[in-house]
Structure 1
Amino acid sequence: MRRILILGGTAWLGRATAAAAVASGADVVCLARGEAGSVAPGARLVRADRRSPHAYDALDGEWDDVVELSWDPGFVASGLDALADRAAHWTLVSSVSVYARSDVPFADENAELVEPDDLSQYPDAKVHAERLTSARLGERALLARAGLIVGPGDPTDRFGYWPARFARGGRVLTPETNGRFVQGIDVDDLAAWIERAGRRGVSGPINAVGEEYPMAAVLAAAKDASGEDGEMVPLDDPTLEAGGVQHWMGPRSLPLWLPSAARGFSRRSDAAFVASEGRRRPLSETMRRTLDDERTRGLDRPRLAGLTPAEEAEVLAGSTRP
């Protein structure tokens, strides 16, 4: 039986990866504090604080794959020190944020990376983690550069904002979508690929990204999933920016809306991912799954990304649109 160790495994992608590994018939262990949630059914939790020098003491034997989710430099280094020599394969979940430029569509894994000058910054820390992992594991290491992850359970509220917003009905404020794209990968599709890639010994850097869709198609899919007939009210960038609306994520934002200079961020090359047996479900299915989850969590709940109803009304009222 394959033995898979997930460093983390109780939060969103980690838990989905554990579930995929269990479904494949593997013996799955998750090393975590256990504060972010429970492990997937069939997986075993080893409680540990990775800040402790004894964090890995309870882990014995060899591992067919170790999946590292953290970007914390100390955690990455200590995990490698404790386990690299006992791992047949190592998967570092990295990010497309490692790339120095976001303005070039269809850039592949050979694109220039940021220099890791400030390890308190996410892109720098991920590049640092990649270099540590590659230096220690060589051809046994997969650097899974994940793009936008979407689907049920998303803690960022980026993707789910849109089907939830359409489901509430009424006039829906959107950015202008011409020339804009979205490249989200369903969390369960990414998790299934991580399990398969580890089993097959896939190595090197790979952009683990979703299919590229025009933003207009993503908004249309969100509207279709909701079953509501709300009117979309697109505003141009200067109007949104004058109204204090932020790009991409976070409070007072329109999620997935990127500035023109970053439009290549959602158009990364997926050729290596597809070649390594990356599979992605239809957008409509992910949207339905996401909306079901949003309804369960509450359409009107406070969110980490998007506009509140009051903020949306304020921006619409301040625009020149009737």
Structure 2
Amino acid sequence: MRLLLLGGNAFLGRAIARDAIARGHDVVALARGESGTFAEGVEVVRADRDLPNAYAGVHGDFDAVIDLARQPRHVRGAVENLRDRSQHYLFVSTINVYADAGPTAIGAAEDTELLPAWDGEQWTPEHYGAGKVTCERLVAQAFPDSHLIARAGLLAGPEDSTDRSGYWPLRFAHPSRPDGRVLVPHDPPAQTQLIDARDLAHWLISCVENQTFGVFNATGPSVPLHAVLAAARAVAGHTGELVPASSQWLAQKGVAHWAGERSLPLWLPWPELAGMMTVDTSAAEAAGLRSRPLPQTFTDVLEWELRTGPGRPRQAGLSPADEADLITQWLREN
């Protein structure tokens, strides 16, 4: 098959390209090329999707387009230019399209209420979920009988530039204190739902091959956060003491959840954000989506983290010095 990948030089895009090429497919990737390197074997078309001539360098027809866009104007331009040149259109969306992320949204299926669509010009991260809603609609309108919407969850695996899936195995492998203590969130009911980017990529290419259409929650099983941390800890061989800090204490100290600066990644407070980590994935599983065991993902992430250098700038988590200081404060106050 001949595939057009819109994006392709960042985390998930590289995984998709590698999987397709490994199966013998031809992959053309259209991207600016500023987010990273392309997978070996990809035919690269460098273009800016903000420009009206973005698709001038894309020639021929395709068995499928795989689009990773966040901004509606990019999807609008793609479907207008490729409507008659592709048989199948796959759009990687997000579980952030759902209107409710709280406890009443536990087990959200694909027919759950969505956010109001956003279709403005000045995109910001706050528009992420609502913008994806618009993107989904544009794809469905242009390819009514041959589209797939994959509402992805948290992506994990080697090359995770967000540092969310790499933080815990690396921290357990390299504690910030000589005594080996590691700060963790104490939130026993909390769940985490992630999928290895390689597993999502493999499923997407299988959907192209099998001509699977529809809307799917494309993420892994919901797992207790403490079990996720235990898996990362075991892979790293950590035997030090855990310092379990409450949500209230962490908030008082300015520690965020989930991702970003001064955060404890993978943790979403329960029950306030319970819906984000418990979506129903039965439809995707029935369509062939499979997730590798968490220890395998964490083993590969840790190997990549150690190879790329534990001291590189981080996009998520606590710095070793900051964590060590927080542990000192917790021990003094509790």
Report the TM-score, using the length of structure 2 for normalisation.
0.93
Q: Which deviates the most, 111-120 or 190-199?
A: 111-120
- AA matched with 2:291: R
Query: What is aligned with 1:265?
Result: 276
The share of aligned pairs that are identical, in percent, is 44
| 8 Å contact from structure 2 (residues 172, 238) kept in 1 | yes
Residue 323 of structure 2 corresponds to which residue in structure 1? Answer: 312
1:150 corresponds to which of 145, 156, 159: 156
Q: Which residue matches 1:110?
A: 111
1:171 aligned partner, one-letter code: R
Q: Is the 8 A contact 2:190 2:269 kept in 1?
A: no
CA contact (8 A) 2:14 2:38 kept: yes
| 2:174 corresponds to 1:168 | yes
2:333 and 2:201 mapped to 1: Cα distance?
43
- Deviates most, 232-241 or 299-308: 299-308
Aligned residues of 2:118 and 2:133 also touching (Cα < 8 A): no
Structure 2 equivalent of residue 297 of structure 1: 308
What amino acid is aligned across from residue 24 of structure 1 in structure 2?
R
Question: What is the aligned counterpart of 1:178 among 188, 205, 209?
Answer: 188
Q: How does 1:1-322 map to 2 (within 5 A)?
A: 2-103=1-102, 104-117=105-118, 119=120, 120=123, 121-169=127-175, 170-260=180-270, 261-319=272-330
Quote the offset at 1:37 in angstroms.
Answer: 2.5
- State the Cα deviation string for residues 144-202 of structure 1 (Å, max 9, x = none): 10000000001111111000110013110000131111111001001111111112111
Give 1:168's aligned amino acid.
H
| CA distance in 1: counterparts of 2:119 and 2:324, whole angstroms | 39
Say how many residue pairs are matched.
321
Q: Contact between 1:240 and 1:315, CA under 8 Å: does it hold in 2?
A: no
Shift of 1:302: 2.4
Paired AA for residue 218 in structure 2: A
CA RMSD of aligned residues (A): 1.3
Cα distance, 1:318 vs. partner? 2.8
Q: 1:220 deviation in Å?
A: 0.6
Write the letter of the residue equivalent to 2:230.
Answer: A
Gaps of 5+ in 2: none
* Unmatched segments (≥5 aa) in structure 1: none
CA distance in 1, matches of 2:113, 2:34: 36
8 Å contact from structure 1 (residues 243, 318) kept in 2: no
CA contact (8 A) 2:187 2:246 kept: no
Note the C-alpha offset of 1:58.
2.0
Letter in structure 2 aligned against 1:167:
A
Change (3 A) 1:251 1:118: farther
Q: Is the 8 A contact 2:72 2:119 kept in 1?
A: no
Q: Would you say the 8 A contact 1:30–1:44 is kept in 2?
A: yes
What SS does the corresponding residue of 1:274 show, helix, strand or coil?
Answer: helix
Q: 1:45 to 1:122 in 2, by over 3 A?
A: same
Q: Per-residue deviation at 1:118?
A: 6.4
Matched AA of 2:78: G
CA distance in 2, matches of 1:289, 1:177: 27
Closer/same/farther in 2, CA of residues 118 and 313 from structure 1, 3 Å limit: farther
Q: Aligned-pair distance for 1:76? A: 0.9
SS of alignment partner, residue 66 of structure 2: strand
Whole-angstrom distance in 2 between the partners of 1:37 and 1:252: 25
Q: Is the 8 A contact 2:88 2:146 kept in 1?
A: yes
Q: Is the 8 A contact 2:18 2:40 kept in 1?
A: yes
Superposed displacement of residue 321, structure 1: 5.4
Q: How far does the alpha carbon of each residue in 1:263-317 deviate from its partner, in whole angstroms, 9 at most, with x for none?
A: 1211111101101111111111001001101101222332111111222123223
When residues 117 and 35 of structure 1 are mapped into structure 2, their CA distance, relative to the original with a 3 A threshold, is closer
Q: Deviations over 1:189-242 (max 9, x none)?
A: 011111111121111210000122111111111111111212111111111111
CA distance in 1, matches of 2:202, 2:238: 32
**Whole-angstrom distance in 2 between the partners of 1:309 and 1:136:** 49
